[in-house]
């Protein structure tokens, strides 16, 4: 297992390449894409820090999409053979791997559910409800509000406005990198 750096726009692998490894994003962002019938690029996945990608490639012999570093990135590369071997031999590891995948699956489903909501306020509420902790659903923002906006799938301007409105009406509080429901919360 080794770490490797990729400059911006450097491909990690291309569709059809033989599978050599599974990846974990240590830094940066990698985009998995496929090309539509008219040559337009369709983003299948945006893997950011902490995300695995190409885990499903373990079964198939070749990658079924393209991976390109969207930013200068650092990737932990786990050779497919090593991982397969570990899974075959070490029952405890396979179990842990399954637990990991199950957790990823759960969080991804939560995000899917969030994206099905139409309003920006609804998505933010859902975000606090699922990601927040404590009695007031506090969330520590990892990055900027722009990043949160991308996570929620709304334009950053919309998030600013929505946040302002929700603060105004006493629904949420912001405190630096912290975000939580107000103690005395009202309707939005």
Give the residues lining the site for its own copies (CB under 8 A): 34, 36-38, 42-46, 55-56, 58-60, 64-65, 87-92, 94-95, 97-99, 101-106, 108-113, 115-117, 122, 125-126, 129-130, 137, 153, 181, 185, 187
Contact 41, 33 (CB under 8 A): yes
Rounded to whole angstroms, the Cα distance separating 17 from 85 reads 21
- Told to check if 163 binds DNA by CB under 7 A, we report yes
- Told to check if 154 binds DNA by CB under 7 A, we report yes
**Cβ neighbours for 149, distance < 8 A, ≥ 6 positions apart:** 155, 156, 158, 159
Residue 157 binds which one of its own copies, DNA, none, with CB within 5 to 8 A depending on kind? DNA
Closer to DNA by Cβ: residue 118 or 186: 118
Looking from the CA of 182 toward its CB, the CA atoms found within 13 Å total: 14
73-79/2-6 β-pairing: antiparallel
Closer to DNA by Cβ: residue 46 or 84: 46
Q: Nearest Cα to 153, choosing from 184, 126, 186?
A: 126
Residue 94 binds which one of its own copies, DNA, none, with CB within 5 to 8 A depending on kind? its own copies
- Told to check if 164 binds DNA by CB under 7 A, we report yes
């Amino acid at each position: 297992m080794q770490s490797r750096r990729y400059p911006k726009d450097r491909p990690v692998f291309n569709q059809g390449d033989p599978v050599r490894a599974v990846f974990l994003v240590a830094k940066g962002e990698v985009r998995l894409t496929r090309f539509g019938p008219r040559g337009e690029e369709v983003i299948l996945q945006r893997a950011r820090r902490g995300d695995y990608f190409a885990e499903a490639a373990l079964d198939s012999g070749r990658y079924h999409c393209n991976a390109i570093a969207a930013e200068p990135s650092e990737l932990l590369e786990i050779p497919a053979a090593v991982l397969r071997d570990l899974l075959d031999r070490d029952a405890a590891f396979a179990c842990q791997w399954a637990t990991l995948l199950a957790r990823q699956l759960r969080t991804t489903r939560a995000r899917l559910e969030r994206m099905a909501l139409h309003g920006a306020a609804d998505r933010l509420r859902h975000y606090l409800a699922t990601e927040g902790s404590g009695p007031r659903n506090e969330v520590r923002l990892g990055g900027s509000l722009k990043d949160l906006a991308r996570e929620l799938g709304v334009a950053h301007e919309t998030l600013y406005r929505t946040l302002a409105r929700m603060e105004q009406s006493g629904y949420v509080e912001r405190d630096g990198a912290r975000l939580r429901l107000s103690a005395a919360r009202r309707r939005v």
